Each structure stands twice: as structure tokens, then as C-alpha cells.
Structure 1
């Protein structure tokens, strides 16, 4: 059975899926057709119905909860993993609609967090995540919500830190921040979902048992080519909740849903997110 699988080019995903992509684990009778894309491209293609299984922002997953299930393995959530709100000039804060904030895609969790914590403070412009810091350096915007490898390199770019949005989330909720997860179409048979989940779990366990083996795959798709930075990214975003969301992860998803709905970011009456097998 063919499974159209979409994953991001982020180091945590290429680390997790390295063994699957290189067929170093048993595909359990499935035929994976794999595409690697920017997270907002993944979100858009998932909305378009192009994938059976895909990594997606939890913001997008909330909007697609009537069509998809969250798989227990493959998510990115944790403490100290949040997007950073950066400024082009040190000491500047978002306080005027004449200012511009760059965000990495309309349905990313990073955009949702900015809207939660800075509602209607500035104009928003959605750009590919890798363009945000260069545009700030050139003075083409006032602020940017930075994700992925940029979390480790922003200081060397001469930018200012306004706030760690993940730390803000943690202080207000006491929960790990849910950034993105692996979702599967509800239309897939339960037996197929079990095999998909098994392959992904095997791939992740393979990578965790031999971490350096995934570096060539990570380097192939990364914006940052420094191996130390790539492994810092893995250390931050791949953890026990990546192996299995568990009740703590499920509670974090519920908190995200409730807060987004209460703020009017999500339409009312949406189906709640469901983790497969729970």
C-alpha cells in the first residue's frame, strides 16, 4: 500500500526519518512515497489533501482535527523549544501597527503563539522561515518569529531578542510547548495506521541508537551546515515525547486548543485533536 508521506527539512525530522528514508528499517509491507518540504508548504499540501501522513504544525492540526489523527510518535514538543521573537534593533518592542513582524507561515504554531501573546500589535507578513533573519538584518521588517536552527545562531546575526515565546507559554500553562506533530488521515484503515506508527517508531529508535549515522541526511537538507548546531537542534526537539506523546503531550495539545479558541484564533466548534490509539 502506498503511503504519501510529507516531512520537514528540519534536522529533528531528518534525524527521526533518516532510517525510514534510507530503508534501514522494515517498511512493514508499506510503500512510502516521501517528500521533504518547508513546514508551511507541508501545512498547505496537507490542507489540499496531498498526503496520507505528514508532519504539520499543531496550529494546522487543530484546524484539520476532523480529518486527521495525531500519531503517538514523531512530534516536536518540550520545554525550552519555543520560537524566538527577534528584533532588527536591540530594545525595540512590538507596539504599533506601523511595525512589521515576519512569521514563518500562516498556520505555523509560531504564528499562533505570536497572535496569542501579541494580538493586533503589529502588521504580519508570512515568509519562508529561512528568509526571516536575512530580512531583519537588511532592515526590511521590525520583528521576526524565528524557528529551527536560527534559535542557535541569531546572536551572531546581530539581532535583538524581544522574548522567548516558548518560555512565555511554559510560565502561563506549566506544559511543554507543542510545536508540530505527525498526523495521519482518519480514512486510513486502523491496521495501516498501526504499521505506519510502527515504522516511524522503529526509525526514531534506530536514530537514537546511532545518532551520528543520521548527520549526512540532516546536513543534506539543513539551512545550517555546522554539525554541532544540527545536533543541538536534535537534543532540543527530539525527546521522550517524540517517542510517545503520552498524557502530558495530550494535555499540552488540549491547552493549545483551548487558548487558541478562547482568543478567537480558531473557529468555535472544532473537533478536538485525537491521538491515535488513545
Structure 2
């Protein structure tokens, strides 16, 4: 069974045990590592049975996929940042580099602002593009939140702070989805396996290091573990009631604005 997730330390930390045969699974798991927007597009095609995905993309896919309760990325202090060479008063008419039209980062920016010109780039190209003046600002995710000052960039605003101020809820970023055609028993077994994989990583963090560094774009230990501490938290073990409310609120606001289609299916395993 193919499992898609990103190169980022939080994903390689969570899925180390699962992808290395440390955890019992309903079928052997083969890792497929790609950037999050590629995984979003593949999910639109139904390509992978089990995959990490942006919540913004999941808002279009509930008929065919269901989110597992474990393995996702939600939390406080985890928001995408808008960065630029200099402070910006407003975004109207500005060229903004975004990490993909199906990312939660772009959905949040669209909920907050309008009138900007989005230009899609792979997430690791955004800061160099802003630094070089190819765009007016960039919407950054993943490790970039810790490294943007190295590029001489300043934070324009934090979309996580905006979301938390608007809703009082944690910010939903990404989920682990299982295709509904796998059947409920298999999906529940996969949910348990993802949770056990994360528990294994917490119990044996030293085992995960080589695998994380094999794929990380930023190799410094300080950046890697800051990333993991930020994005791997109690919501990663189980989304919980508060996490579910946050996801439903994101979908509700986006549907009301016409940014996502209305879909009746529940977002998570009951």
C-alpha cells in the first residue's frame, strides 16, 4: 500500500516507524515522498490510497477520502507566514508567491485578503524568489518559518495568529487521508498504525534522525527539532473535539465564501 507524505521533518518523524516496518499494518506500506501540492493534486486524481494532504484540498475530496484521527498537522503557533523584503501596507495588486492553489496556506490568505496576484511555486523556491525581487511577497510554510530572516526578509503577518484571533481555535494545516474504498476495518487499522508510528518515534527519537536528515531541506539539528516540536503535538496523536471544530470551521468559512464546495460527508472517522 502506497503512503504519500512530504519531505518535512514532522512527516518523516511521524512515519519513520510505519515506513520501516516497525509497526503492524493491514498491508505492507511503501513510502512516496513529494511536496504537499503534488500530493494535493494526486489526491484529486485518487492516485494514493493513503496520503498526507492540505485541509484546503481535502475540502473538495470528502466523497472519496476520509481523514484519519492521527498523523495530521494542527495547532497554535503553526501558521503560514507572509514575508517580503520590506513591510507592506496592503496586498492589492501585489504579486504573491504561493506554495500551491490547493494548500491551506493559500486558502487562509484568500479568506483574509483579496485583490492580490497569486503565482504558484514549489515551497522551497519562494524565499529565493522574494529575495531576488521576482515577486512582491511570499507565502511560506514548513521549515521556512524558522529560516526566512537569513534571506533578509521580514514578516508581513502570520496567518496562524490571524486565524486564532478570528476563531479562538487551533489552525488546521494538513491531514492524513484514507480512500473510502479501502473499507472501514482497513481504515481504522491504518489509523491505529499511524498513531503507533508516532508513539514509536516519541519513544525512539534517535532512530528517526538519519531518515529525517535524508530528506530534510534544512539540515541543522536546531531547525529540524524546532520544526518537529512546532508541528508534532497532541493534535497529531488524535485530532480531538477541538481539532474537529477547527476543521469544520475552516470548511464552513471557505464554503460561505465560495472557496470550497459544500459537501455533506463528515470529515473524520466517527
- Tell me which interval the TM-score lies in, with the shorter structure as reference length: over 0.9
**Mapped contact 1:100–1:141 kept (Cα < 8 A):** yes
TM superposition score normalised by structure 2: 0.97
Q: Which moved more, 1:154-163 or 1:74-83?
A: 154-163
Whether 2:248 is the aligned partner of 1:248: answer no
> Are residue 271 (structure 1) and residue 269 (structure 2) matched?
no
In the alignment, is the contact (CA less than 8 A) between 2:86 and 2:154 conserved in 1?
Answer: yes
Shift of 1:95: 3.3
1:91 is aligned to 2:103: no
Distance 2:59 2:265 in 1: 7
Give the aligned partner of residue 98 of structure 2. Answer: 103
Q: Which residue of structure 2 aligns with residue 40 of structure 1?
A: 37
**1:171 paired residue among 159, 165, 171:** 165
State the shift of 1:273 in Å.
4.1
How many angstroms does 1:207 deviate by?
0.4
Partner residue of 1:57? 54
Q: Describe the SS at the equivalent of 1:91.
A: coil
SS in 1 for 2:43: helix
Asked if structure 1 preserves the Cα contact closer than 8 Å seen for 2:19 and 2:30, the reply is: no
Give the Å deviation of 1:272.
4.3
1:214 paired with 2:208, answer: yes
- Equivalenced residues, count: 270
Corresponding residue of 2:108: 113
User: Helix, strand or coil for the counterpart of 2:74?
Assistant: strand
Contact 1:70/1:273 (8 A) holds in 2: no
In the TM superposition, what whole-angstrom CA distance separates every residue of 1:190-232 from its partner, at most 9, and x where no partner exists?
A: 1111221121111100001122321111111111000111110
1:128/1:273 Cα in 2 relative to 1: closer, same or farther (>3 Å)? farther
TM-score normalized by the length of structure 1 = 0.94
Do residues 204 (structure 1) and 198 (structure 2) align?
yes
Question: What residue number does 1:20 align with?
Answer: 18
Structure 1 unaligned regions, length at least 5? none
Contact 1:84 1:164 (C-alpha < 8 Å) held by counterparts: yes
The separation in 2 between residues aligned to 1:102 and 1:259, in whole angstroms, is 23
Computed over aligned residues only, the root mean square deviation of the Cα atoms, in angstroms, reads: 1.2
